[in-house]
Amino acid sequence: MPESRFFTFDDPDRFRSTIRAGTYELFVKSKGNFRAELTRIDLERLWMQRGDTNLSWIMAASVDLKRAPLLFLADADQASLREDGMEVSSGEIVVFRRQATNHSWTSGACRQATMSLTHEDLAEAGEAIAGRELTAPLNTCVVRPAPVAMMHLTALHKAAVELARRSPGTLANPGIAHALEQKLVHAMVTCLSTDAPVERRFCGLQHSRVINRFERFLETKQYQPVYLAEICAAIGASERTLRTCCQEHYGMGPVRYLWLRRMHLARRALLRAEAAGSTVTTIAADHGFWEFGRFSVEYRTLFGELPSVSLHRPPEMLREQWTLQ
């Protein structure tokens, strides 16, 4: 049955765990208090989402094997997004390869839109609308469709999100939901299959593989401090190559990313620990921080509160502030 939900968050973990069509890891880069909104719309076949975030972030995403997702900027007036090292601007669509693991980052506030069908539904829609099956590309790419087609898709997505937020019960009506889905799928297929020349840029597979090996290595080390020479030997890449790949996929060098990752993992541990049986010092040490005064200062600068405040925050304060169905 068609449904829509609207969420607001002040915790990046709650935000990333609510996103559909994949599994996600998110580290906020900017200093300050995180705020996000997420609108989810599930129609008969089409899933849609819009996510609005106020701070810059790095995200790793593993795409749902069963679905073929697209991503684009929801509004024109915002900074570009980087997807696997490729710049994504207004008027462009990211088309993900099947079973993609990708990395994206922003330089500021971001408002992004996604849509997905199953691979079978996408092929069927392409055959019915464009006269040929549409399939996920062999490599994730950025597509720039004809401007008129892209404007139409963006406007339809925005209208659906506004309807879900203002009158969520409307989309529960099967007739309305079906009509909206038909328009959205038609607009999506038109953008991907137009006869007009379409620009396509493909991500660099070699650098993506280096980053994937880097991430797998970090998972084996969990929170342990690691060093560039050790990392490069383990993943089979030179220090120069790793620096280039990290700059492309994270917007920062590997040392800064390692620090940011450990800070977020420490915050996650603080928020989920039992305050009565845990201490900031123990959790900081477990995550490789041994200068405890410096850790406290850097933590407060990055997250806007002392680590002791995170440790003693009531669990109910981490839930989404409100939800509409």
User: Which domains, from first to last, does the chain contain?
Assistant: 3-202 (2.60.120.10), 205-316 (1.10.10.60)
CA distances from 255 to 70, 136, 218, 247, 286 (A): 31, 34, 12, 11, 19
What is the pLDDT at residue 195?
Answer: 53
CA distance 164 to 109: 22
Write the DSSP string, 167-193: -GGGGGSHHHHHHHHHHHHHHHHHHHH
Residue 129 burial (CB count, 10 A): 18
CA 183 to chain centre: 25
End-to-end Cα, the chain, rounded Å: 12
CA distance 75 to 51: 11
Element (H, E) at 68: strand 67-73
What is the pLDDT at residue 323?
Answer: 40
What is the pLDDT at residue 314?
Answer: 67
What is the pLDDT at residue 114?
Answer: 95
What is the pLDDT at residue 325?
Answer: 32
Q: What is the pLDDT along the chain (325 residues), one digit of tens a residue?
A: 778 889 999 888 889 989 887 888 999 988 888 899 999 999 999 999 999 999 999 999 888 889 999 999 998 888 778 988 888 999 999 998 887 788 999 988 999 999 999 999 999 999 999 888 888 888 888 889 989 999 999 999 999 999 998 887 888 888 888 999 999 999 999 998 865 445 566 667 788 889 989 988 988 877 777 788 889 999 999 999 999 999 999 999 998 998 898 899 899 888 887 766 788 888 888 888 888 889 999 999 888 889 988 888 765 554 444 343 3
Between 228-235 and 239-250, two packed helices, what is the crossing angle to 10 degrees? 90
Is the pTM higher than 0.95? no
Give bridge partners of residue 142 from the DSSP assignment: 94, 201
Residue with tokens 């999506």: 188
Name the amino acid, one letter, at 75: D
CA 108 to chain centre: 14
3-state secondary structure (DSSP) of residue 204: coil
CA distance 116 to 43: 11
Write the DSSP string, 95-122: EPPTT-EEEEEESS-EEEEEEEEEHHHH
